[in-house]
Amino acid sequence: MALIKSVRGVAPVFEETCWFADNATVVGNVTMGHDCTVWFNAVVRGDVHSITFGNRCNVQDGAVIHCTYQKHKTTIGNFVSIAHNAIVHGCTIEDCVLVGMGAIIMDGAVVGTGSIIAAGAIVTQNTVVPPGTIYAGNPAKFLKNVSPQQAEVFMRTADNYVMYAGWYA
């Protein structure tokens, strides 16, 4: 069973339709909308500030979501996929974003709606990723605009992860 834990008297709040892998960890000031999933070995740690998810977000295996004490909360929109081993820390991710495997997004960064952060990219502190763009590299820089075909993947990925969670019910 997932570790769902209060910290300093504040417990995570999530919809009944959320699913957590057996060894996922969700602690503290975390709020999740409906149909969110947190996968194996993922950690969502709202112990030093708040973490808020919209609907149909997935935090894939080994990803870490955290924030900065009294300074940077983490806000994640709707239909966001945070891939395996990514780190999302004290930033804002708007709707329909794909954060690639092993990517890192740092404090104060804002990732615009419909964007892709490429696998392994490092989005440095206070970077603003414009909507509908792909950022890649270290430090992450503009690569190109998201194509209409790539944009379709956002909704499909969010839907797929809800389906995958159903396999474990």
- pLDDT score for 164: 97
- pLDDT score for 34: 97
- pLDDT score for 149: 87
CA distance 163 to 80: 15
* Residue ranges of the chain whose pLDDT lies below 50: none
- pLDDT score for 114: 97
- pLDDT score for 37: 98
**Contact (Cβ atoms closer than 8 angstroms) between residue 86 and residue 99:** yes
CA distance 19 to 126: 31
- pLDDT score for 151: 86
Q: pTM for this one?
A: 0.96
Residue 123 C-alpha from the chain's centroid: 14
Widest CA span of the chain, in angstroms?
A: 45
C-alpha distances out from residue 110 to 123, 127, 145, Å? 9, 6, 17
Structure tokens at 29: 């000031």
Going from the N-terminus, what domains does the chain have, and what CATH number goes with each?
A: 3-167 (2.160.10.10)
Task: Determine how many CB atoms are found less than 10 A away from the CB of residue 75.
Answer: 17
Residue 57 C-alpha from the chain's centroid: 7
C-alpha distances out from residue 144 to 63, 124, 141, Å? 25, 18, 9
- pLDDT score for 3: 97
Helix (H) / strand (E) containing 134 = strand 133-136
CA distance 21 to 30: 16
**Contact (Cβ atoms closer than 8 angstroms) between residue 48 and residue 68:** yes
pLDDT single digits (tens) 123-152: 999 999 999 999 999 999 999 999 988 888
